[in-house]
Amino acid sequence: MSLPARIVTLLVAFAAVVAGAVFLAVYYIGGGPPTVNFVPEASGGQVNVVLQEDPQNTVTSRPDWVSYFVQDPVTKKWVHTTLFQVPANTRVNMTILGYDGCTPLRNNFWSRVQGTIGGTATVQQFKTVGQPLGVPKTFKVINSWSHCSVGHTFAIPSLHVFVPVASPNTKLFNSSACGSSPCTSGPHSMQKFSFYTPKTTGTFRWQCFVPCGGGFLDGNGGPMQTLGFMMGNMEVTS
Amino acid sequence: MAESEAPAAPAKAEPNHGLRIFLIWIVLALVADLLIWFLWYPHMPPGRQSSSAQHQAFDITVLGLAAAPVMLFVWTYFGYALINWRHRQDDDEDGPPIFGHTGLQAAFIAGTSVIVLAAFVFGTIELIVPAGAGAGEGPNPVWKPSGSNILQVQVIGQQWQFTYRYPQFGGMESTQLVLPVNRPVAFHVTSLDVIHSFWAYQLGVKADANPAVDNVAYTTPEHTGGFTVRCNELCGIWHGAMFNSGRVTTPTAFQAWARATELAEHRVGLLAALPPYSLTYDPTVIPQLGQEVVKVAGITGANGYYYPPQDPEQP
Amino acid sequence: MSIEIEPEKAQEPAGSGPARPRPARPWWMRPAFHTGIIGAVIGYFLGHWLGNMLSYGYARNALSDMNDFPLVLGYVIGTIGWLAGLGVFNDLFRQMAGKPVPVAEEEMDAASGLARYFRFTLDHKVVGIQYLVGMIVYFCTGGLFAMAIRTELLSPTYHIMSASSYLMVVGEHGTMMMMMMSSVVLGPFGQYLMPLMIGSKRMAFPRLEALAFWLTPAAYVILLSGVLLGGFPTGWTGYAPLSLQATEGMDSYAVAFGLMGISLILAGFNIFVTVVNYRAPGMRWSRLPMFVWSMLTVSFLMVLAVPVLVGGMYMLLTDRTVQTAFFANTLGGSSYLYQNVFWFFGHPEVYILALPGFGIVSEIIPVFCRKPLFGYRVAGAGMIGVALLSFFVWQHHLFDSGINPEMRPLFMLTTELISIPTGFIYLVAMGTFWKAKIRFTVPMLFAMALYFNFLIGGISGVFLSDVPADTTEHGSFFVMAHFHYTIMGGLIFAFMGACYYWLPKMMGIKLNERLGYLHFWTMFIFFNSTFLPLFAVGMLGQPRRVFEYATNLQPLNIWVSVSAFLLGGSILIFVINFIWSTVIVREKEVGNPWNSRGLEWQVSSPPPPGNFEHVPVVLSGPYDYGVKDALPVADLHPPVGVVSASYATAGAGVEA
């Protein structure tokens, strides 16, 4: 090959390699779910955050994976993500709607509510949206091993926040569980608890401690280990 | 290959290279060793907070004292060679062919063997004397601390948080690791899912957490203060975030903390909800639920089993 | 009456002999890279379909929305399709049909041009160049992942990648390097130079050799496809049970590593058969170049240790696809089984990486010291000793795992003992440097840098072999620094030195010398500034594979990251030099620029198609510099009858 031909081939090959590397980096390594921003909604030193967890998610290529959703505070739409942003030094009032049925905890220590204000969480069961079942009860421990009672947990280990999320009424769940997601009807539990974000900013991971990855060895794979399903990041910004 | 002796003793004008190298080396080695012993040893990781940490720091220092002269010898030799035996511009001759000197080779081999064997003996002593040097010894530990007042702490690794159980305090479990000073501790490290590793850095303890295995490591904290615990074996995506801090306090403060935690957990009903203390746990078997979880479809909710219940080939 | 006795002929396999001249077909109709890709795509979809058909009903797959079985079958049958498309099996089918197949020498004589580098060829020199280009591509890919790792580690709290992306990048970097770099010297230099060094015209099994090479692009692509599948969370060691929990990217790791393992086994087998059987007359064991000794010992390691890896990966795949439970503790298996199987391979693997480096530098230093290699027997004993002992040390990776505690002093002893034969290499080097006439050429600088780096790496290995010290150092950045010093500081520096030394021989062109010096100094300085602080980082408590660390370690990590970027820049200088010199400038270099006595340098650069016109008769060792009245290394035109007489018992079949 003549010299100009060789140089052209080299430049084309180089451009192809760079393009490939950039594509891989941006789409596969750099990508991720969106972050829901609650900072503008904070007032009076408090902010409300609403999440729900579903037994499946019909919005991704893994429909059988359990997943959390975050409710956008402005549009009130459910976003399939586990990343959200809250301000520092604020009281976060967390509401979690639990649509998924029960699974015993791998370590029943996580049955205890820890790190919340008062060390408690309040649970109200619902037949479906708008139809409460019974009265709200306050728990210090939701024992997942005594009977079918815990669906997932919400835990921010570095802030020592560990909260089991109750499962809905078992009979109702077995007969009429929510089948699509994000769930807008069906039996669920509504969990409320509060905790303070620290004064310094940072990124705090949160995860579920229930082995909820169906089909994976010991239940700890799949959604448990994938960002946007059962684990995420809480960003504390100023 | 023919072994011919090298040409006779170096010519009169030729300096005694071997002696020069030796002298340069001995000075450098002495200086290095003194620096290591006096300047570096007092700050040698992992520090002095526990018996195993102290012995490890001493062990690393002694290895350093042996390694520094070895490395300096090689560097001195090569440095000397590169300076003195460079190719001069006008010289196109080959160098003198040197064969044989089997005595020198034998001395080198003997010398390195002696150093290596000494290091082995020293390392074994340092492993045995501080009750296993903080390393995980498996379910049947051989080198244990003497004394009957050993505090038992179970370290449970799970994805992605360590929890600690104190069987001597009713089997209470905690995310905090608090230890009393000057009392030997036996860490029983186990896991509930994948392989983790319990690394209490300042205490000089490292033991892998394997599911269904009890890995025992010993140490005796000797100074109060904080220490960090990090997971040392890749256990999934939050491996890097799996760390917590612990503290060593006075025996009375420790007793107070332990009793208070036990009491609080008892009052709240958590103690009753925990499984009975055992050296390993099989999370697929939950006696409180009356049946093996893995064989019952539905109650696991997530069906986190490997074989479906209807599969006849259950292990 | 006279009885006619036919001269004895060695039994020839059916179908061998001169092949019918094939009609000249255009390049795009002959099996090559492009047909290989077509075969790979067809094979992948076939395998995927077959897998789905076989395993669709598993409850596990319904719940996890993942089916590993079609993926694995797709990879495996895709690889078979790739090989079939390349024409790997063509000669096999021809022989089975009783038709004649080309002999290696024939094909070497006939071929020419650039196209044969994209084909399945029987010429070991072509395979060597294929390996060289392939290895540089794989190395640079792994290096890019390393740059991503160091970017993430600039801050313990601000994360540019998500946690799973970071782990994916860590795993890809480690596996790419450890997997592909096992062949970085054996491939380009072993395959190319070894027959030349022993006076042979060919390798024993040229088809196996080419197959071993063509498996590597398949392994590379399969490993990279893991990125598209979300990666694997276990790092290059693939510990179960985490690997059993992982999503589909884990299969790409297991299949790629298994394929590379098969490639290593075939290459190793080929090399030791060639060295044992194809040495020219007069090439006694005591005259064998040290590089060939290192290739011989490495090939034994490959053949004995790598099958264990392939078995381990196979067990991992069956655990993930067909519900066996080799490594699941709760189901009757053992997580320790994986660790032991992996490290039984893993430790000889790192000596597969280290020994070729020793072989190369032992080959280079006599040339540039203009002195014989001191203590030839000791050097050979060192290589053999390291290779033998490497099988007895693997439990030092498991000191804190909960193994039988009384085994640990034993493995501490064996691991420390292995530093004795390693020391022999230093003894030989020091003896060679004594009163030498040292020329500071680029290859010599790289060789000396190996001795410097490996000293640090090797001594830190002694620290790790000591069980109490290992309690602090295991699994931390200290280990990271140790193995980067030994593998990158040893093997890769030797590889670079070998490139500068042997590229004139292999391609007949010279690498630019000024760029070479620039490359060396930047690489050496930034390599040390990157990895030396990591010893401290590890001792101060930072574990491996983490993306968050203690904030007081941030300044050290920033220093290391910046140095790593500059180190990447120095590798870029090498790549630029390589491409500039081989593609653009192509400054010819013929003959023997380094004035070496090696047998490979006695033929033209690049060598003629059949390596040697006649099988040479070796007259003396390659290291007899400065020896008065030394015989030339070989007689390249021996009198007729000499060679066949030396093969008297084997009969005909060897050219005289």
Q: Cα(C173)–Cα(C195) distance, rounded to whole angstroms?
A: 33
Verify that A171 and A73 share a domain, yes or no.
yes
**B154 has a chain A CB within 8 A of its CB:** no
Largest CA distance in chain C: 99
Give the model's pLDDT for residue A190.
94
Give the model's pLDDT for residue C646.
64
Helix (H, G, I), strand (E, B) or coil at C244: helix
Q: Cα(C206)–Cα(A109) distance, rounded to whole angstroms?
A: 63
Cβ-nearest to B270 among A101, A111, A148: A111
In chain B, residues with a C-beta closer than 8 Å to the C-beta of C476 are 232
**Chains A & B: contacts with CB separation below 8 Å:** 110
Choose, out of C118, C579, C583, the residue to mutate when testing the contact with A (most A CBs < 10 Å).
Answer: C583
Verify that A41 and A26 share a domain, yes or no.
no
- Average pLDDT in the B107-124 region? 94
Q: The tokens of C587 are what?
A: 């400054």
At A209, the amino acid letter reads F
Rounded CA Rg of chain B: 29
Residue of B210, B212, B213, B185 whose CA lies nearest to B200: B185
Nearest C-alpha of chain B: how many angstroms from A184?
Answer: 21
Question: Where residue C572 falls among pLDDT bands split at 50, 70, 90?
Answer: very high
User: Per DSSP, what are the bridge partners of residue A166?
Assistant: A150
Nearest C-alpha of chain B: how many angstroms from A113?
Answer: 10
- Which chain B residue shows the shortest CA-CA distance from C406? B142
What long-range pairs does C514-517 form, CB within 8 A, spacing at least 24?
A: C515/C573, C515/C576, C515/C577, C515/C580, C516/C442, C516/C577, C517/C442, C517/C445
Give the model's pLDDT for residue B61.
95
Count Cβ neighbours within 10 Å for each residue of B163-178 and write b for 16 or more, e otherwise. Answer: bbbbbebbbbbbbebb
Q: What is the signed CA dihedral for B36, B38, B39, B45, rounded to 10 degrees?
A: 70
Handedness of CA C375, C376, C378, C382 (dihedral sign): positive
Is A65's CB within 8 Å of C61's CB?
A: no
- Which chain B residue shows the shortest CA-CA distance from A203? B241
Give the model's pLDDT for residue A188.
92
CATH architecture, domain C116-325+337-585: Up-down Bundle (1.20)
Give the model's pLDDT for residue B302.
38
Q: Are C328 and B306 in contact (CB under 8 A)?
A: yes
Nearest C-alpha of chain C: how many angstroms from B6?
Answer: 11
**A100 has a chain B CB within 8 A of its CB:** yes
Q: Are B188 and B205 in contact (CB under 8 A)?
A: no
- Average pLDDT in the C42-51 region? 95
Choose, out of B108, B121, B144, the residue to mutate when testing the contact with C (most C CBs < 10 Å).
Answer: B108
Please count the structural domains in chain A: 2
What CATH number has the domain spanning B151-273? 2.60.40.420
Q: The tokens of A222 are what?
A: 């799949």
Q: The tokens of C156 are what?
A: 């313990």
DSSP state, C8? P
For C426-462, what is each residue's pLDDT tens digit?
999 999 999 888 999 999 999 999 999 999 999 999 9
What is the average pLDDT value for chain C, to the nearest integer? 89
**B270 has a chain A CB within 8 A of its CB:** yes
Subunits with 3+ C-beta pairs closer than 8 A to A: B, C
Cβ-nearest to C541 among B71, B109, B201: B201
In chain C, residues with a C-beta closer than 8 Å to the C-beta of B138 are 401-405
Interface confidence (ipTM) of the complex: 0.91
At A79, the amino acid letter reads V
Nearest C-alpha of chain B: how many angstroms from C324?
Answer: 9
Choose, out of A57, A109, A162, the residue to mutate when testing the contact with B (most B CBs < 10 Å).
Answer: A109
Is A214's CB within 8 Å of B161's CB?
A: no
Burial (Cβ within 10 Å: 0-12, 13-18, ≥19) of residue B279: middle
Please give the C-alpha separations between residue B139 and each of A88, A107, C330, C403, in angstroms, as whole numbers: 46, 21, 17, 9
Is B160's CB within 8 Å of A112's CB?
A: no
**B293 has a chain A CB within 8 A of its CB:** yes
Backbone angles phi, psi at C564, to 5 degrees: -65, -40
Question: Where residue C654 falls among pLDDT bands split at 50, 70, 90?
Answer: very low
Is A207's CB within 8 Å of B238's CB?
A: yes
Cβ-nearest to B95 among C330, C426, C437: C437
- Average pLDDT in the C155-164 region? 87
Q: How far is CA B183 from the centre of its chain?
A: 21
Q: Which residue has the tokens 């290391």?
A: C560
Query: In chain A, which residues have pLDDT < 50?
Result: none
- Which chain B residue shows the shortest CA-CA distance from C536? B45
Q: Cα(C288)–Cα(C383) distance, rounded to whole angstroms?
A: 13
- Domain, as residue range, for A11: 1-31
In chain A, residues with a C-beta closer than 8 Å to the C-beta of C142 are none
Q: Cα(A156)–Cα(A193) distance, rounded to whole angstroms?
A: 13
Cβ-nearest to B293 among A100, A104, A140: A104
Residue of C561, C375, C9 whose CA lies nearest to B99: C375
Verify that A137 and A120 share a domain, yes or no.
yes
Give the model's pLDDT for residue B295.
45
Question: Where residue C5 falls among pLDDT bands split at 50, 70, 90?
Answer: low
At B104, the amino acid letter reads L
Residues of chain C with CATH 1.20.210.10: 116-325+337-585
Cβ-nearest to B212 among C329, C377, C456: C329
Verify that A78 and A189 share a domain, yes or no.
yes
Subunits with 3+ C-beta pairs closer than 8 A to C: A, B
Q: Give the other-Cβ count within 10 Å of C158's Cβ.
A: 9
Residue of A34, A119, A38 whose CA lies nearest to A79: A34
Helix (H, G, I), strand (E, B) or coil at C268: helix
Helix (H, G, I), strand (E, B) or coil at A112: strand
Q: Cα(C244)–Cα(C248) distance, rounded to whole angstroms?
A: 10
Q: Residue B257: pLDDT above 70?
A: yes
Residue C603 CB contacts under 8 Å (≥ 6 apart), including other chains:
C196, C611, C612, C636
Q: Residue B4: pLDDT above 60?
A: no
In chain B, residues with a C-beta closer than 8 Å to the C-beta of C406 are 142
Handedness of CA C339, C342, C348, C353 (dihedral sign): negative
Sequential DSSP letters for C297-347: HHHHHHHHHHHHHHHHHHHHHHHHHS---SS-GGGT--HHHHHHHHHHHHH
Q: Residue B299: pLDDT above 50?
A: no
Give the model's pLDDT for residue C12.
54
Q: The tokens of C574 are what?
A: 């090498």
Cβ-nearest to C370 among B95, B211, B230: B95
Q: The tokens of C503 are what?
A: 């590229």
Give the model's pLDDT for residue B38.
95
Q: Residue C590: pLDDT above 80?
A: no
User: Per DSSP, what are the bridge partners of residue B185?
Assistant: B151, B219
Q: Cα(C85)–Cα(C338) distance, rounded to whole angstroms?
A: 35
Q: Residue C22: pLDDT above 80?
A: no
Is B301's CB within 8 Å of A231's CB?
A: no
Q: Which residue has the tokens 């020091």?
A: C430
Q: Cα(C489)–Cα(C481) distance, rounded to whole angstroms?
A: 10
Give the model's pLDDT for residue A179.
83
Q: Are A50 and A157 in contact (CB under 8 A)?
A: no
Share of chain C above pLDDT 70, in %: 92
Q: Cα(C431)–Cα(B81) distance, rounded to whole angstroms?
A: 10
Give the model's pLDDT for residue B312.
40
Q: Residue B168: pLDDT above 60?
A: yes
Q: Give the other-Cβ count within 10 Å of B136's Cβ.
A: 32
Q: Are C94 and C230 in contact (CB under 8 A)?
A: no
Q: Are C494 and C444 in contact (CB under 8 A)?
A: no
Give the model's pLDDT for residue C4.
67
Q: Residue C106: pLDDT above 70?
A: no
Q: Cα(B249)–Cα(B251) distance, rounded to whole angstroms?
A: 6
Question: Where residue B5 falls among pLDDT bands split at 50, 70, 90?
Answer: very low
For C111-121, what is each residue's pLDDT tens digit?
567 778 888 88
Cβ-nearest to B193 among A66, A214, A218: A218
Could you tell me if residue A74 is left (phi over 0), alpha (psi between -120 and 50 degrees) or otherwise beta? alpha
Nearest C-alpha of chain C: how many angstroms from B262?
Answer: 30
Higher pLDDT, C206 or A25: C206
Q: Cα(A228)–Cα(A54) distance, rounded to whole angstroms?
A: 13
Is B286's CB within 8 Å of A104's CB?
A: yes
In chain A, residues with a C-beta closer than 8 Å to the C-beta of B301 are 100-103, 148, 151, 167, 212
3-class secondary structure for chain B?
CCCCCCCCCCCCCCCCHHHHHHHHHHHHHHHHHHHHHHHHHHHCCCCCCEHHHHHHHHHHHHHHHHHHHHHHHHHHHHHHHHHHCECCCCCCCCCCCCCCCHHHHHHHHHHHHHHHHHHHHHHHHHHHCCCCCCECCCCCCCCCCCCCCCEEEEEEEECCEEEEEEHHHCCEEECCEEEECCCCEEEEEEECCCCEEEEECCCCEEEEECECCCEEEEECECCCEEEEEEECCCCCCCHHHCEEEEEEECHHHHHHHHHHHHHHHHHHCHHHHCCCCCCCCCCCEEHHHCEEHHHCCCCCCCCCCCCCCCCCCCC
**B238 has a chain A CB within 8 A of its CB:** yes
- Least confident residue range of A14-28, B54-68, B90-104, C534-548: B90-104
Give the model's pLDDT for residue C23.
63
Q: The tokens of C470 are what?
A: 């290992």
Verify that A7 and A91 share a domain, yes or no.
no
In chain A, residues with a C-beta closer than 8 Å to the C-beta of C583 are 6, 10
Verify that A185 and A200 share a domain, yes or no.
yes
Is C475's CB within 8 Å of B238's CB?
A: no
